[in-house]
Amino acid sequence: MIEKGRISNIQSAMLAITSLTIMGHLIVLTLVISHSKENGWIAAIIGTALGLIGIVAVTRLSQRFPGLTLIEILFRHFSWPGKIAAIVYLLYFFILTLLAVRLFGEAYKSILYETPLTAFIVIILLVSAYAVYLGLETIGRMNQIMLPILVVMAIVVAYLTMPNKDYSNLLPILGEGWMPVGAGALSVMGWFGEIVIMGMLLPYVQKPERLMKANLWVAALTLIFFLGPVTGPVAMFGATEAAKMTFPTFSEVRYIEAGEVLNRFDAIAVLFWTVGLLFRISIFYYGLCLGTAQALKLKTYRPLVLPFGWLIGAGSLWFAADYEEIQSFLFGVYAPLNITMGALLPVLLLLLSRLIQKLRKRKEVAEER
């Protein structure tokens, strides 16, 4: 295979957690709160349970074809429909990368509103491209160092915001019935669908047998990390207010005061977003480059890093005309897209591969007679 690196199980799990969590806390949060308001946490739990379908499917698929990434599996084992599916997946990775880069720009534009969007795109892509160029091992190691730091800071932040929160705002439970909860749950399930990008990384993990356990932990931890932000803003601002906010966690963090000197911990939010989005973008960017290289049967993915960098940069500008379009994209397309690519397709592939195996066995048995 093209990537010679190996990452440990822990590193791969951490990468998945970072990628998912940052998207969750930034974007999915708005979706869930606006759909389910104070019952967001119920939606989260249900959504995670549903998301497990996709996770299990992807892990199983990877274990069934050891050492091959998703794209390689599709190309080699599913003949021409597989090739088409692979291209669809590559487009999917591309779209998600564009989304992530654009979101980075938009998020920072809301703080540093005088800086042009392009500047943000350029700078995040520079660092990202460098990391992707250096390889999977490097990204895994970086994440291994940064994630614990982020988690610790998140806990500190959560603790500091406690006095402002009133958890009675989380009632009533299921006040408006199951519909809003369902919509939120679907968003969460869609969010988890993104874990399909791990299909590009799992073959390079050191201990494939333990992957199922690792990925289940990923789901569990992501859910736990998500419960905080899904309840926090509601507790602080009340359900209807929270639903209106574009970036609820951001607003929440603004209210922290630490003694006489520091307040408005926007800076902490900056840290989370930058690092989290950086890893997310790097992983999808990496998956895109690696997948394309494998589809074209190139020796290494490195020559593609720079060209794709430019493409992603230009593409993220083309992606939407303004934030309104992004909003409607998120509310309309994001969840179904992810559910399809991340849950439906992997399950389909898994069943198909089982079917093909059974047919083959029957053929062999028939030939023996």
Partner 1 sequence: MPETRNRKDAAPHDAPGKELLDLFSSTEDLVTRSIRILGLEGRLIYLHEMINQTALTNIEQSLTDLAWMQPNESDESRQEHNKMDLLKAKLAGGTSLDEDGVDSLVDPILSGKTVLLFEELRQAFLLPTSDAEGRSIDEPVTDQVVRGPRDGFVELISKNLMLIRRRIKSPDLKVEYITLGKQTRTEIAIVYLKNIANEGIVEEVRKRLSRIEIDGILESNYIEQLIQDAPLSPFPTMAAAERPDRICASLLEGKVAIVTDGTPFVLTAPSVFVEFLHSNEDYYDGAMPASIIRWIRALGLLIATFLPAFYVAITTIHQDLLQTPLLIRIAGYREDLPYPVLVEAFFMQLTFELVREAGLRMPKAIGNAVTIVGTLVIGQAAVQAGLVGALMVIVVAVTALTTFILPNYGFIQVARYTSFPMLILAGLFGFMGIILGLMFILAHLCSLRSFGVPYLSPISPAHKDAWKDVFYRAPWWRMDMRNPESGIRNRRRSRTPIPHPPDPETEGPG
Partner 2 sequence: MNLLYSLAFVALAVASVAFQAADAIRRKQFKVLAAQGAILALAIVLGILAIYNFRIPSMAELLQALVPWQA
Residues that bind partner 1 (CB under 8 A): 108, 111-112, 115, 119-120, 123-124, 126-127, 130-131, 134-135, 137-139, 141-142, 144-146, 260-267, 270-271, 273-275, 278
How many residues are recorded in the chain? 369
Residue whose CB is less far from partner 2, 66 or 332: 332
Min CB(365)–partner 1 separation in Å: 47
Q: Is the dihedral of CA 143, 148, 152, 158 positive or negative?
A: positive
Question: Rule CB under 8 A: which of 298-317 touch partner 2?
Answer: 298-299, 302-304, 306-308, 310-311, 313-315, 317
3-state SS, one letter per residue, for 50-110: HHHHHHHHHHHHHHHCCCCCHHHHHHHHCHHHHHHHHHHHHHHHHHHHHHHHHHHHHHHHC
Of positions 297, 364, 367, 368, contacts partner 2 by CB under 8 A: 297
Min CB(315)–partner 1 separation in Å: 20
> In a 3-state reduction of DSSP, which class is residue 257?
strand
What's the burial of 363, exposed, middle or buried (CB within 10 Å: 0-12/13-18/19+)?
Answer: exposed
**Residue 285 touching partner 2 (CB under 8 A):** no
Residue whose CB is less far from partner 1, 126 or 306: 126
Q: Residues 165-184 vs partner 2: string with x where CB under 8 A?
A: ------------------x-
Spatial distance between the Cα atoms of 363 and 358, rounded to a whole number of angstroms: 9
Cis peptide before 346 (omega within 30 of 0): no
Of positions 119, 258, 262, 296, contacts partner 2 by CB under 8 A: 296
Contact call for residues 212 and 56 (beta carbons, < 8 A): yes
- Residue 331: name its binding partner from partner 1, partner 2, none (Cβ under 5 to 8 Å by kind): partner 2
Q: Which residues does 261 contact at the CB level (< 8 Å), separation at least 6?
A: none
Return the structure tokens found at 182: 């369902």
- Residue 292: name its binding partner from partner 2, partner 1, none (Cβ under 5 to 8 Å by kind): partner 2
Return the structure tokens found at 289: 């480059």
**Residue 335 touching partner 2 (CB under 8 A):** yes
Residue whose CB is less far from partner 1, 142 or 235: 142
Q: Which residues bind partner 2 (CB under 8 A)?
A: 95, 98, 183, 186, 292, 296-299, 302-304, 306-308, 310-311, 313-315, 317-321, 325-326, 328-329, 331-333, 335-337
